[in-house]
Amino acid sequence: MTDTPTNGTVPPEQMDAGAAAQIQVLAQYVKDLSFENPAAPMSLQGQKPALEVGVDVQARGLGIDQYEVSIRIRADAKAATQTIFVCEVVYAGVFVLKNIAQENIQPILLIECPRQLFPFARRVVADTTRDGGFPPLMLDPIDFMTLYRAQLAQQKAQAPQAAV
């Protein structure tokens, strides 16, 4: 066993055969939070707005084996042409990934890490909309694997266009 930390670039034959893959959460936090209620108090009169929700996941390296993963959730509620509310949350976490092959790091960062963060981001959205005078917005669970596959497909579709 060596004391050399692995960062996913060490060949598998040099890794400790008994070392199990590890995902550790070092921190979770609200990185950015915005709530707008531009038509208050008229917007609080019980109308049922149309809701549009967007989700984006980003990841970046912080150092050896450490990564920041963030989920951006934006919810726009509108009635006719009037904006009822806009809620935007960037919820992030710092993760340590150890003993993970390089080709598995990106899927873990963009699927498993956001899956662990999502319940906390969902609560922030619900609390923020409730504190804004509306019923809590309870987001449906998100299939991060489907989002990841869609992102890969989009990148593949854009790659031939970029080569032209």
Residues 6+ apart with CB under 8 A from 65: 5, 6, 7, 8, 96, 97, 98
Residue with tokens 């619900």: 126
pLDDT tens sequence across 56-92? 999 999 999 999 999 999 999 998 888 999 999 999 9
**80 in a structural domain:** yes
Residue 147 lies in a domain: no
- Taking residue 56's Cβ as centre, other Cβ atoms within 10 Å add up to 13
- Containing domain of residue 49, as a range? 25-140
**Residue 17 domain-assigned?**
no
| pTM flag (> 0.75) | yes
- 163 in any annotated domain: no
Q: Is residue 164 part of a domain?
A: no
pLDDT at 40: 79
Domain assignment present for residue 1? The answer is: no
- The answer as to whether 9 is a domain residue is no
Confidence (pLDDT) at 82: 86
No. of helices (H) and no. of strands (E), the chain: 3, 4
> What pLDDT does 59 receive?
96
**Looking at the domain assignment, is residue 43 inside a domain?**
yes
Residue 109: DSSP 8-state: I
pLDDT interval class at 161 (50, 70, 90): low
pLDDT bucket at 163, cuts 50 / 70 / 90: low
Nearest to 62 by CA among 93, 101, 99, 100: 93
Angle at 154 between CA 52 and CA 92, to 5 degrees: 55
Q: State yes or no: cis peptide before 41, omega within 30 of 0.
A: yes
CATH of the domain at 82: 3.10.420.10
Per mean pLDDT, which range of 2-11, 36-45, 54-63, 73-82 is the poorest?
2-11
| Structure confidence at residue 30 (pLDDT) | 98
pLDDT tier, 18 (very low <50, low <70, confident <90, very high otherwise): low
Look at the chain and report how many structural domains it folds into. Answer: 1
Say what the pLDDT of residue 47 is: 72
> How far are the Cα atoms of 106, 116, 155 from residue 67, in angstroms, in the given order?
10, 14, 22
| pLDDT tens per residue across span 124-157 | 999 999 999 889 999 999 999 998 998 888 888 8
Sequence length of the chain is 164
Q: How confident is the model at residue 8 (pLDDT cuts 50, 70, 90)?
A: very low
Q: Each residue of 74-102: b (16+ CB within 10 Å) or e?
A: bbbbeeeeeebbbbbbbbbbbbbbbbbee
